[in-house]
Amino acid sequence: MPYTAPVSEFTFLMEHVVGLPRVAGTERFAEATPDMVSAILTEAGRLADEVLAPLNRGGDLHPAHLENGVVRTSPGFADGYRAIAEGGYIGMSADPDYGGLGLPMVLTTAVNEMIGSACLSLQLNPLMTQGQIEALEHHASDDLKALYLPRLTSGEWCGTMNLTEPQAGSDVGALRAKAEENGDGTYAVSGQKIYISWGDNDFTENVCHLVLARLPDGVPGTKGISLFLVPKYIPDADGKPGKANDLKVVSLEHKMGLHGSPTAVMQYDGATGWLVGKPHGGMAAMFTMMNNARLGVGVQGLCQAEAAYQQALDYALERKQGRSPVEGGTGTILDHADVRRMLSEMKAEIFAARAIALANAAAIDMASATGDAAWDARAALLTPVTKAYGTETGIKVAQMGIQVHGGMGFIEETGAAQYLRDVRVTAIYEGTNGIQAMDLVARKMMDGGAA
Ligand SMILES: Cc1cc2nc3c(=O)[nH]c(=O)nc-3n(C[C@H](O)[C@H](O)[C@H](O)COP(=O)(O)OP(=O)(O)OC[C@H]3O[C@@H](n4cnc5c(N)ncnc54)[C@H](O)[C@@H]3O)c2cc1C
């Protein structure tokens, strides 16, 4: 499915709406000059258009599958992943001390949108890694940072996020996974996690799982949960992937969409893990990853909206049906008022969702560049809004995209239906949109609305 990165839309929003010049005016992000931003957007757009978009349909038709306990990914995904990693896009906003580029989140957010518009199921992999990088930067020991961050940032290794268990979905505090000290500074992590996105793959040297589990003295509920880094292969003395850890992919889910992303049931049987953050401080550490991912998932909704819109517009400009009511019009269904209404609404919703997501990212940048708590509060307030509005926009726009196609929208070959099937989960994972609403009202507005 062809896709053209909307580079000029990003540039307009960044320069005139969300305040990239203010972000670039700080010492921390002084490198983000208009020339540099334009070069990155153009190059990432090329990667999305030419390399990643051609993989999207294959991912849907040939899902990731389990072969003798090994995850086999969709055709071309390994090459697509390498192109993303080699382009430096995984570590764009990561700490330069560990190989990152230290660029603003506002730029990473735009690039993530382009990559996700092109191939959402593949994009979910680096998105999880970006969240893990941020969690480790903030909460891991210096030794863990030195070992893991450069490899995650380069994309040699990738990261996952393990919260959900059969009885613990929205209610994370109900989890039963356990961890016990091994006496050598490591922990033995046991339990089953479900729905783990990119729980394994056949193209990175290692897969690093961030796993929530309870220590023996952990109290029931969220206050007794700790966070552990549990790698698929335990790094040897040289930091190379060594002995296989005691964990496995039990099965992969058969899903409505997002087929290219392997969604795994993971079993941990006394797997060796390292504590990240303080004992029983797991939720705070995991929230760093989840907030990053909530912005990212809001953008996933938005990016499917953009892709669905582009496809619907192309179709509307080709399909002839009925007499054109517009003199000097295109002579296609685009001339019909109802089709224009749908396409205009799709475009307007995308503009709003994109502006919210980029404003959210710009607030994160200003908070980290200035240390001003007001920017932190604004970023925190906007995160559930970005997540819920972006994903609802994705579903609404993909649905309208099908309508613009008429009967062809219901026929899988056009790809219009894939956008709706793929985007549907974004309103569910990373905290359902109902949970986002509760977060907005019960936590983020407790300052009386100041932010
Ligand atoms: C494809 C896919 C990928 C995923 N990837 C990951 C991953 O990588 N890592 C991971 O840990 N998890 C992952 N998940 C799990 C996902 O985050 C959960 O499915 C989600 O948080 C909802 O939990 P649940 O499915 O148990 O639904 P439930 O919690 O059972 O919710 C069911 C319904 O009840 C509502 N509800 C629940 N509690 C409340 C409440 N207190 N107040 C109001 N309404 C409520 C929900 O909003 C929802 O509508 C993934 C899920 C899918 C489908």
Q: For residue 7, how far is its CA from the centre of ligand 1 (angstroms)?
A: 34
Whether residues 428 and 293 share a domain: the answer is yes
What are the tens digits of pLDDT across the range 197-235?
Answer: 999 999 999 999 999 999 999 999 999 999 999 999 999
Which tokens go with 181? 């000290």
The dihedral region occupied by 214, where left means phi > 0, alpha psi between -120 and 50, and beta the remainder, is beta
What are the tens digits of pLDDT across the range 156-175?
Answer: 999 999 999 999 999 999 99
Q: Which of 113, 165, 392, 430 is catalytic?
A: 430
Helix (H), strand (E) at residue 135: helix 120-139
Confidence of residue 449 (pLDDT cuts 50, 70, 90): confident
Query: In 267-372, which ranges are continuous DSSP H helix?
Result: 282-318, 337-370
Report if residue 1 sits inside a domain: no
The answer to whether residues 356 and 390 touch, using CB atoms and an 8 Å cutoff, is: yes
CATH number of domain containing 24? 1.10.540.10
- Those residues whose C-beta lies under 8 Å from the C-beta of residue 293, and which sit 6 or more positions away, are 127, 128, 131, 161, 430
Whether residues 141 and 173 share a domain: the answer is no
Residue 447 has pLDDT above 90, yes or no: no
What are the tens digits of pLDDT across the range 290-345?
Answer: 888 999 999 999 999 999 999 999 999 999 999 988 889 999 999 999 999 999 99
Whether residues 382 and 360 share a domain: the answer is yes
What are the tens digits of pLDDT across the range 270-282?
Answer: 999 999 999 999 9
CB-CB neighbours of 169 under 10 Å: 18
Whether residues 141 and 164 share a domain: the answer is no
Q: For residue 72, how far is its CA from the centre of ligand 1 (angstroms)?
A: 26
What are the tens digits of pLDDT across the range 354-366?
Answer: 999 999 999 999 9
**Shortest-distance atom of ligand 1 to CA 433:** 47
**Shortest-distance atom of ligand 1 to CA 198:** 8
Whether residues 259 and 365 share a domain: the answer is no
Report if residue 450 sits inside a domain: no
Q: For residue 274, how far is its CA from the centre of ligand 1 (angstroms)?
A: 26
- Give percent helix, percent strand, percent coil of the chain, each to the nearest 5: 55, 15, 30
Residue 29 or residue 289, greater confidence: 29
**Shortest-distance atom of ligand 1 to CA 168:** 26
**Is 430 among the catalytic positions?**
yes
Give me the number of domains the chain comprises. Answer: 3
What are the tens digits of pLDDT across the range 405-420?
Answer: 999 999 999 999 999 9
d(C-alpha 64, C-alpha 67), whole Å: 10
Q: How many CA atoms lie within 13 A of 204 on its CB side?
A: 29
Whether residues 115 and 78 share a domain: the answer is yes
Handedness of CA 385, 428, 438, 447 (dihedral sign): negative
Quote the domain boundaries for residue 259. Answer: 159-280
What's the distance, CA 392 to chain centroid? 16
Task: Tell me which residues have their CB closer than 6 angstroms to ligand 1.
Answer: 161-164, 169-170, 195-197, 255, 258, 263, 425, 428-432, 434-435
Mean pLDDT over each residue of the chain, to the nearest integer: 96
Whether residues 276 and 291 share a domain: the answer is no
Whether residues 198 and 260 share a domain: the answer is yes
